[in-house]
Amino acid sequence: MRIKFWGVRGSIPTPQPENQRYGGNTSCVEVRVGDSIFIFDCGTGFRTLGHQLQSEFKGRPILAHVFVSHFHWDHIQGIPFFRPLYDDSGNRFMFHSSSRTRSLRRVMDEQMASPYFPVAVTEMKARQDFYEVEPGPIQLGDVSVQVAWLNHPQGCLGFRMETKQGVLVYATDNEPGPAEFDKSVRKLAEGADVLIYDSQYLPEEYEAERRGWGHSHWREAVNVAMESGAKELVLYHHDPDHTDVCIDKVVQDARNYYPKVRAASEGMEIVLE
């Protein structure tokens, strides 16, 4: 299993110089299991991933499962700019999401409607299949994906991917507090080889003014990792106002409690054998 980060920022892209080491693109993580491609979220990092896939496949059909955690801007911004969706040479994308608020197909259509975007969704000639997901397991060949709701305004899905090479958990946009969600996210992360978890705020920011905003902080991320037995914690969904220097300090502080911690950065890869 190879995990690669294409977008690590939360809320809005932040391309300014002080964020260059960790990156300014919004949420997108690619996972390769053998020849199979799995993608988690379609923020602005989805655009860059599309360029790389086109370069790699050189006209050969691209087949990928795309899991969309929820429909807030920073998780769908890259869809209109993902070039393989416009290619009709056999590309196929299987989108997995919840239609609890509305369907992803409708979200894409509205996102690209006039006057918000000059190209209609009908120009996307690649095959698109849409699958409704709810809490529970999904079997995709040799890969099992467990789905659970996280605590976030308008809802957000967390995903646990189980493979022969290892277990990955993608749990972005989750706020601690309600017992049912706190228990659920720890169950989702139980024994994971890699836990990608929301750490948007500093603990003091969260306590002072950001309760109820739907996000977590690095101290809670460490709690989830330790209490679930996750082997490695990757801090994710960095705040737009957190510079590289700030994130460096977050990692340093987090490692005082749990040594196997790093912050997600664009281009970073993790390989599980």
The phi, psi pair for 170, rounded to 5°, reads -115, 105
- Which pLDDT does position 200 carry in this prediction? 97
Crossing angle of helices 218-228 and 244-255, in 10° steps, is 40
Query: pTM for the full model?
Result: 0.97
pLDDT at 100: 87
Tens of pLDDT along 66-90?
999 999 999 999 999 999 999 999 9
Q: Give residue-wise pLDDT tens across range 203-225.
A: 999 999 988 889 999 999 999 99
* pLDDT at 101 (0 to 100): 87
- Domain borders along the chain are 2-269
What is the separation of C-alpha 192 from the centre of its chain, rounded to a whole number of angstroms? Answer: 16
CATH topology of domain 2-269: Metallo-beta-lactamase; Chain A (3.60.15)
- For residue 251, name the pLDDT band (cuts at 50, 70, 90): very high
Residue 273 has pLDDT above 90, yes or no: no
Percentage above 90 pLDDT, the chain: 96
State residue 56's pLDDT score.
Answer: 98
